[in-house]
Amino acid sequence: MTKSRDDREELKHDPGRRKFLKGVGIAGAGAAIADHLWTEAEAKEKVSTPESLSGSVKVVLDVNGQKREAQVEPRTTLLNTLRNHLEPAVTGPKLVCDVGTCGACTVLLDGKPVYSCLVLAVDATNKKITTVEGLGTPENPNAVQAAFVENDALMCGFCTPGFVTTISAYLKKNPNPSMAEVREACKGNFCRCGTYPRVFEAALAAAKSSQA
Ligand code: FES
Ligand code: FES
C-alpha cells in the first residue's frame, strides 16, 4: 500500500516505535493488508487518549482458538510474544528481517494477513490470531499446506509459513485465482531460495483441490 505524503510527514514528526509500528506495520503488511485497519487505528487514536503503559503487562491472546497469556513489555511485538513469551512457544511465524520487509512472520489477525513483527502484542489482544499451526496439522493439513508438500514448494522453509498463511487467506477471498493474481497476492512475501515458481504452482493446485 502506498502511504500518502501526509502520512509519511506525520510519522517523521513522531518517531516513537509504537507510532512506527502502527503506521508502517499496517502499511507494510503486504498485499493483503486492509486499508481500513489503518483508518480504524487512526480513528481510535483520535477519539481516545490511550493510557500510557510501562513496565510489563499481562496480555491475553487468542492464538489458534486458544487463550494464551503472556507477560510482556508494551513495546513487545506480536512475533516476539508468540515465539519467546508463550509456553509452549508458537514458532511457525519466523523472525527474519524484523522490519516488515520479508513476510516470514505473517499471521492472520481476524483473517487478514499482517506482519507480526510490526504489530504490538498489546494491540492484538482483541483479535483472533491464526498462525500456520492453526491452519492445519501434519495429519490433517489444509489444502495449501498439502499442496506445498505435493509440489515441493520449499527449500530452506523459512519463508514457507508466511507464504502458506498469506495464500490460505487469499484463497478464501478468491477461490479461483489466476497465476497473475496469485503472484500479486504474494508480493509481500519473499523467498530467498527462489522457490517462487513452485510456491505459485502450489497455490493454484490448492485452489483446484479445494474446488474438487
Ligand atoms: S520478519 Fe516480519 S516482515 Fe520479515
Ligand atoms: S524456501 Fe528458503 S527462503 Fe523460501
Q: How does pLDDT run across 12-67, given as a tens digit for each residue?
A: 333 344 444 454 444 444 544 433 344 444 455 555 555 677 799 999 999 999 99
Task: Say how far apart CA 94 and CA 79 lie, in whole Å.
Answer: 8
Give residue 210's pLDDT.
87
Give residue 44's pLDDT.
55
Name residues whose C-beta falls within 8 Å of residue 48's C-beta, 6 or more positions apart in sequence.
none
Residues forming a β-bridge with 109 = 112, 129
> If you measure from the C-alpha of residue 114 to the centroid of ligand 1, how many angstroms do you get, rounded to a whole number?
10
pLDDT digits over 145-170, tens only? 999 999 999 999 999 999 999 999 99
> If you measure from the C-alpha of residue 118 to the centroid of ligand 1, how many angstroms do you get, rounded to a whole number?
8
C-alpha cell read off for 56? 510489563
Residue 161: nearest ligand to its CA?
A: 2
Cis status, amide bond into 88, omega within 30 of 0: yes
Give residue 54's pLDDT.
75
Secondary structure of residue 134 in the 3-state scheme: helix
Is residue 158 within 6 Å of ligand 1 at its C-beta?
A: no
pLDDT-derived band at 100 (thresholds 50, 70, 90) equals very high
Is residue 25 within 6 Å of ligand 1 at its C-beta?
A: no
Q: Which sign, positive or negative, has the C-alpha torsion 182, 185, 187, 190?
A: negative
Residue 98: nearest ligand to its CA?
A: 1
Task: Say how far apart CA 84 and CA 51 lie, in whole Å.
Answer: 25
For the question of whether the overall pTM of this predicted structure is more than 0.85, the answer is no
Ligand 2 residue neighbourhood (C-beta within 6 Å): 154-159, 191-193, 195
> If you measure from the C-alpha of residue 75 to the centroid of ligand 2, how many angstroms do you get, rounded to a whole number?
29
Is residue 105 within 6 Å of ligand 1 at its C-beta?
A: yes
Secondary structure of residue 127 in the 3-state scheme: coil
> If you measure from the C-alpha of residue 5 to the centroid of ligand 1, how many angstroms do you get, rounded to a whole number?
24
Give residue 25's pLDDT.
45
